[in-house]
Each structure stands twice: as structure tokens, then as C-alpha cells.
């Protein structure tokens, strides 16, 4: 990293009434203007624009110059930016096309090193260009261009050297435009339903609160661990299970165990769930609805996880609970407007299918090719009985093992998950590896190579660096080993869903359909579809999702249609 300068380099910012770029140029978007630079020059062109969404304060600004509009839409004139998604959003809002983006600095920096604390302009400017940014918005925009110009060749070369070029060009870079469309379009919400659900939950919270105080014999602060511990362990005499630095623990795990002995811990858990749904989800969703569009416009992040998965904020719609009745009811609030439907497309067991593909285990591959119930097939093998004789408990155990293996689960972890002895858990895992020997060989080979290289890769070459694999601390090292086993599988699933999003969006645009991709939740995609396009979209989605990549086992997609997310998902 370069020596950090006290001030960024001086630049000359000049106004441009016209713009005639050469082959490539860097561009930064500001509220009132575009800033453009060609080559490694200190001269920055400031092009004021009149936004279709601005008020009279900016009415003196001119519409976007024809030369810049033409250049932004020309795929042969390369654009270099800090955030391609921001540029695409501006284009969508102002109704001009953006093509030919060659370099997105934030995405390139992320792929080269996915474990940085952040990929914001301030951090990367210090790390790569060696200066602090100006506070003035216009000069800050000039700084952005200088950082982009300074790093373009270096980061693009590094992507190729690390065999990340294909992932960058085919998936991450085109995905920026897809996410821009999704953020602009937004997610439909039935705000009336949300408010009614909020009122109903408030009543339930009050009912549960009264029952708790009645059983406790006195009112107390339900959100105070200290006061709750006093009621549970001193007044009611329940046995303490776990100590903390400040006293006895009242976390969910402790309350779940105590709930088998007394009603009050069960009611506390119910209260906490209701309170979380009301405050974290319902209230937050209502506040997030845009009053102008009546929709939620979340922000999708490509650089927010080391695994390659997308993350979502403002609000986080990927975190809507699904297991509880209340959580499922929340999905009813995401309802399509009149004349449209929600279509859900969900990859079936994609991580287990990737496990079969990556490990090359013949028995796993055969089971998926034959369309077997993989959990029943695994239970049959590890418990030594025909599939038709496997009971629901054995199938559940096999399911935990199947998914646990992809996360590097140990016998101790399995024992805890299934509430069985470590000896029984060790025997189950032994039988699992005897059934699927290719999986065990792959795990051993992956850990060996990861210790040498310092990283693991997905099927598209995405890297996960794991330096902790060689540390002396056993606990840290074992956590790193679990990461090394899981990262190629989870990361490959992330790559596949991203590639799917790019291809589906391209198909929607090329066929001039009115359907829109609105949300991604790990292995699931949601679409808002006019009734007349439902069958077309179902065929299009299935064709792309099941053939986006060729694996040794088939990819299977479950597609549902409904008036809202819950109906479509079930």
C-alpha cells in the first residue's frame, strides 16, 4: 500500500457543455452532475444535468448531453466506475441505457480479497491510492475517478492472475445491472395487511404478558435478563442451567430446556418471538415502504459476505422467518398488485446436489439421478434397513447428517443437534462415510490442498482464503476446517443463483416481457408476473435455472404461483 498522503492530488474540474469521449473513460454519478475523466489525467469534466426527479432548485442544470448519453450506451466505449450498480440505477431512473462497463472497482477489489472489513470508497482510496477523500461532494467525486483510474489495470490484471476473470465478467459485473433493476422496481407490500397483523400481534403480546405476570405473581421487566433470572431461579426455584459473568443465563437455549419443566419459560419464549416479529419485522417493514411507490426498495450488496452470497439491507428481506406460524404469516404481506401474481422459484437441495457433483461420489450421484428421496436413501444406508422401512425419526437424523456434512459437522456437533450420545453420533458419521466414500476422500483432499494453498475455490473459481487452517489453536483450526469444507459448496450455490439471475433478466428484457425479478433469498427467486405471462415465465425460469450450469446430477427447481409470497412458496 502506498504512503498515505495528507491531501489527495490536486485536480482541475472543468464544465463541459458537450462531451466527445475516446475509447474509454471513468465516470462518477452525483446528484446534480456526472463527473468524467479520460486516461490518467488530472482534468475532470463536470457535466451538470437536470434530473427528471429533481426540484426547481436544479432547474438551471441542463439535460444530459447527447454525447454523454450516446457514450454511456455504446458497448464499444469502455466505462470504468467505482460502483456499476449506482450508474445503472441512474440510467434506469433517467431512462437512458448503460452498456460497456468494463471495470467496477468495488467488485474487483472484493473478488481479489473477499475478507476485507469493507469496500467503501474511503477505505479503498486509502488502501489503493494512498490518500484521504475531500469532504466537498464535487471534489470527492473527482477523488473517486482518480482512485478508479489508478487501480483499473492493476486489479483487472490481478483478477486474471487469480483465475477470477470469468467469474467477474460473466457473473458479478452483469449482476450489477440486474440488482439495479430490482432495487428500482421494488417489492410490492400490502401495508394494510401489515398494520392489521401488527395490531393482532400487539394483542397477543399483551395476553402473553398478563399470563406471565399471573404465573410469576408480580409484574417485572420482561426484557431484563436479571429480573427474569430472579423470577425463574429464586422465586420459582427452577434449576439454573448456565452461568454468565453477570449471573444466570436466560437465553433461548436455557429457556427451551426449562420449558419442559414449567410453563413460564415457554411463555417467555413466545413473548420474545412475538416481540421480535413486531419490532424487527412488522414495524421495520412499514417504515421501509416508499410513500411514492407503495413498495419496499431494499439495497442488495454484492460485497457483503465472504461466501459470495448476496446480502440485503434497508430492510433485510432475506431474514424474514419461515419456520414459525407468525413468520410464515408475514409472507402474506408481500402481495402482488391487481392483475399480477408472485412466482417463487426455489432450487431443491442445491447444496447436496453440489456435494454430489464436487465430490464425485458415485452413490450420491446415482441417488440424485434416480430421483430418490436422498434423506431416506441416506437413512437406509446408515441404519441398515430398506428405504420403505425407514421411519420419520431416522429420516430426520439422516437429513441432519446430510446437511451437517456440508458444514463440516463433527460427531460432537451431531450429538448435540440430535440429542444423542457422541458414540452414537460417531457411528452414524462412520456409516455415512462408508456409504458415500467419495465425500470423505474429497474432504481429506480439500483440507490437504487448502493448508498448502491457503484457500479453497468454488466451481466458478471464487476464492475463500482461510489462513487459520495452520494456526496452533485447535478450536480456531477446527472452525477453519469446517469453513474449508463448506465454502466450495455454499459459494458454488451462490455463483449459480447469481448466474441464473443474470440470464433470467436478460431473457425478460430480450423477450420484452412485463415480468420483473423482485427478490433473491439464497436459493429462491421471487418474480412479480402479469397473469398473461405466468406460463411463459414458468417455462423460461425452469429452462434457465435447471440448465444454467451442467452438473453431474440434475438441478431441480420448485416453482409456485400465488397472490402473495406465502401462497407462491407453499
Per residue in 394-419, pLDDT tens?
899 999 999 988 888 888 888 888 88
- At residue 62, the pLDDT reads 56
- At residue 56, the pLDDT reads 43
**pLDDT beyond 70 at 10:** yes
One domain for residues 239 and 367: no
Flag whether 178 is in a domain. no
Q: Model confidence over 103-116: pLDDT tens digits?
A: 999 999 999 999 99
Q: Are 380 and 459 in contact (CB under 8 A)?
A: no
* Dihedral (Cα; 110, 114, 117, 120), 10-degree rounding: 10
> Which of the listed residues 386, 402, 435 is the one where a domain comes to its end?
435
Tell which residue, 541, 559, 185, 532, has the closest CA to residue 340. Answer: 532
What percentage of the chain exceeds 90 in pLDDT? 72
One domain for residues 35 and 69: yes
Of 270-279, 323-332, 526-535, the least confident: 323-332
One domain for residues 471 and 447: yes
C-alpha radius of gyration, the chain, whole number: 27
Q: Are 377 and 367 in contact (CB under 8 A)?
A: yes
In angstroms, how far is CA 160 from the centroid of its own chain?
A: 25
Strand partners, 344: 526, 560
Flag whether 184 is in a domain. no
One domain for residues 355 and 370: no
Q: Model confidence over 29-80: pLDDT tens digits?
A: 987 788 998 876 667 888 887 665 554 444 444 577 788 888 999 999 999 9
387 band by pLDDT with thresholds 50, 70 and 90? confident
Tell which residue, 559, 513, 92, 570, has the closest CA to residue 340. Answer: 513
Q: Model confidence over 222-238: pLDDT tens digits?
A: 999 999 999 999 999 99
Provide the phi-psi class of 294: left if phi over 0, else alpha when psi is between -120 and 50, else beta: left
**pLDDT beyond 70 at 315:** yes
One domain for residues 137 and 202: no
Flag whether 167 is in a domain. no
One domain for residues 368 and 357: no
- At residue 471, the pLDDT reads 92
As a whole number, mean pLDDT of residues 332-348 equals: 96
d(CA 129, CA 417): 49
d(CA 528, CA 511): 16
2 band by pLDDT with thresholds 50, 70 and 90? very low
> Which of the listed residues 435, 463, 483 is the one where a domain comes to its end?
435
One domain for residues 218 and 313: no
Flag whether 67 is in a domain. yes
Secondary structure string (H, E, C) spanning 124-178 = HHHHHHCECCCCCHHHHHHHHHHHHHHHHHHHHHHHHHCCCHHHHHHHHHHHHHH
One domain for residues 239 and 205: yes
- At residue 18, the pLDDT reads 66
Task: Please give the DSSP secondary-structure letter assigned to residue 208.
Answer: H
- At residue 52, the pLDDT reads 55
Half-sphere exposure of 47 (CA within 13 A, CB side): 21
Strand partners, 528: 342, 516
> Which of the listed residues 261, 288, 315 is the one where a domain comes to its end?
288
96 phi and psi, to 5 degrees?
A: -130, 155
Q: Model confidence over 159-174: pLDDT tens digits?
A: 999 999 999 999 999 9
Flag whether 441 is in a domain. yes
Flag whether 183 is in a domain. no
Host domain of residue 431: 362-435
Which CATH number is 221's domain given?
1.20.1060.10
- At residue 17, the pLDDT reads 65
Length of the chain: 570
Which CATH number is 313's domain given?
3.30.70.370
**pLDDT beyond 70 at 352:** yes
Flag whether 390 is in a domain. yes
One domain for residues 271 and 352: no
436 band by pLDDT with thresholds 50, 70 and 90? very high
- At residue 6, the pLDDT reads 52
Tell which residue, 268, 144, 261, 166, has the closest CA to residue 216. Answer: 268
* Dihedral (Cα; 334, 338, 344, 345), 10-degree rounding: -140
End-to-end C-alpha distance for the chain, whole angstroms:
52
- Give Cα separations from 323 to 132, 245, 257, 327, 328 (angstroms): 47, 32, 19, 7, 7
- At residue 58, the pLDDT reads 42
**pLDDT beyond 50 at 551:** yes
d(CA 84, CA 91): 11
One domain for residues 80 and 145: yes
Q: Are 285 and 189 in contact (CB under 8 A)?
A: yes
Judge if pTM exceeds 0.75: yes
Flag whether 2 is in a domain. no
One domain for residues 279 and 327: no
- At residue 75, the pLDDT reads 94
Number of domains within the chain: 4
One domain for residues 337 and 202: no
* Dihedral (Cα; 557, 561, 562, 564), 10-degree rounding: 50
What percentage of the chain exceeds 70 in pLDDT? 95
As a whole number, mean pLDDT of residues 330-344 equals: 96
Amino acid at each position: 500500500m502506498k504512503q498515505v498522503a495528507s491531501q489527495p492530488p490536486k485536480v482541475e474540474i472543468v464544465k463541459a457543455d458537450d462531451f466527445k469521449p475516446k475509447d474509454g473513460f471513468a465516470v462518477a454519478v452525483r446528484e446534480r452532475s456526472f463527473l468524467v475523466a479520460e486516461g490518467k489525467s488530472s482534468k475532470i469534466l463536470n457535466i451538470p444535468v437536470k434530473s427528471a426527479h429533481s426540484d426547481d432548485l436544479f432547474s438551471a442544470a441542463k439535460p444530459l448531453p447527447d454525447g454523454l448519453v450516446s457514450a454511456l450506451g455504446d458497448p464499444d466505449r469502455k466505462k470504468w466506475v467505482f460502483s456499476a450498480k449506482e450508474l445503472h440505477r441512474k440510467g434506469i431512473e433517467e431512462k437512458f441505457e448503460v452498456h460497456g462497463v468494463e471495470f467496477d472497482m468495488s467488485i474487483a477489489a472484493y473478488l481479489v480479497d473477499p475478507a476485507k472489513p469493507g469496500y467503501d470508497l474511503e477505505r479503498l482510496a486509502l488502501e489503493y491510492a494512498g490518500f484521504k477523500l475531500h469532504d466537498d461532494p464535487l471534489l470527492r467525486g473527482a477523488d473517486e475517478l482518480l482512485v478508479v483510474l489508478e487501480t483499473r489495470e492493476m486489479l483487472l490484471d490481478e483478477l486474471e492472475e487469480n483465475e477470477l476473470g470469468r467469474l467477474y465478467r460473466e457473473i458479478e459485473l452483469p449482476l450489477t445491472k440486474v440488482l439495479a433493476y430490482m432495487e428500482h422496481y421494488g417489492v410490492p407490500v400490502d401495508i394494510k395487511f401489515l398494520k392489521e397483523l401488527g395490531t393482532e400481534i400487539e394483542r397477543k403480546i399483551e395476553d402473553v404478558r398478563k399470563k406471565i405476570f399471573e404465573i410469576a405473581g408480580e409484574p417485572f421487566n420482561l426484557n431484563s435478563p436479571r429480573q427474569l433470572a430472579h423470577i425463574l431461579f429464586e422465586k420459582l426455584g427452577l434449576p439454573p442451567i448456565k452461568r454468565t459473568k453477570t449471573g444466570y443465563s436466560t437465553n433461548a437455549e436455557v429457556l427451551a430446556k426449562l420449558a419442559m419443566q414449567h410453563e413460564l419459560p415457554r411463555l417467555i419464549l413466545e413473548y420474545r418471538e412475538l416481540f421480535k416479529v413486531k419490532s424487527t419485522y412488522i414495524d421495520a417493514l412499514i417504515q421501509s415502504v416508499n410513500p411514492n411507490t407503495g413498495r419496499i426498495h431494499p439495497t442488495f450488496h454484492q460485497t457483503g459476505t465472504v461466501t459470495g452470497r448476496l446480502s440485503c439491507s434497508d430492510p433485510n428481506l432475506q431474514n424474514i422467518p419461515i419456520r414459525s406460524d407468525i413468520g410464515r404469516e408475514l409472507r402474506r404481506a408481500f402481495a402482488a398488485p391487481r392483475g399480477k401474481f408472485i412466482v417463487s422459484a426455489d432450487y431443491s437441495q442445491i447444496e447436496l446436489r453440489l456435494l454430489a457433483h464436487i465430490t464425485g461420489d458415485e452413490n450420491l450421484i446415482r441417488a440424485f439421478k434416480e430421483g430418490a428421496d436422498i434423506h431416506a436413501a441416506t437413512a437406509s444406508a446408515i441404519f441398515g434397513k430398506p428405504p420403505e422401512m425407514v421411519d420419520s425419526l431416522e429420516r430426520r437424523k439422516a437429513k441432519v447428517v446430510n446437511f451437517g456434512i456440508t458444514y463440516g459437522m463433527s460427531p460432537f456437533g451431531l450429538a448435540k443437534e440430535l440429542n444423542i450420545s457422541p458414540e452414537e453420533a460417531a457411528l452414524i458419521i462412520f456409516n455415512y462415510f462408508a456409504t458415500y466414500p467419495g465425500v470423505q476422500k474429497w474432504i481429506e483432499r480439500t483440507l490437504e490442498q487448502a493448508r498448502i494453498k491457503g484457500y479453497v475455490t468454488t466451481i466458478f473459481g471464487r476464492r475463500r482464503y482461510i489462513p487459520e487452517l495452520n494456526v496452533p489453536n485447535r478450536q480456531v483450526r477446527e472452525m477453519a476446517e469446517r469453513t474449508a469444507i463448506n465454502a466450495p459448496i455454499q459459494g458454488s450455490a451462490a455463483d449459480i443463483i447469481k448466474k441464473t439471475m443474470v440470464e433470467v433478466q436478460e431473457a425478460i428484457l430480450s423477450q420484452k416481457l412485463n415480468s420483473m425479478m423482485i427478490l433473491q433469498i439464497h436459493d429462491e427467486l421471487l418474480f412479480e408476473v402479469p397473469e398473461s405471462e405466468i406460463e411463459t415465465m414458468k417455462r423460461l425460469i425452469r429452462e434457465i435455472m435447471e440448465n444454467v450450469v451442467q452438473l453431474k446430477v440434475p438441478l431441480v427447481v420448485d416453482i409456485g404461483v400465488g397472490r402473495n409470497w406465502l401462497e407462491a412458496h407453499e
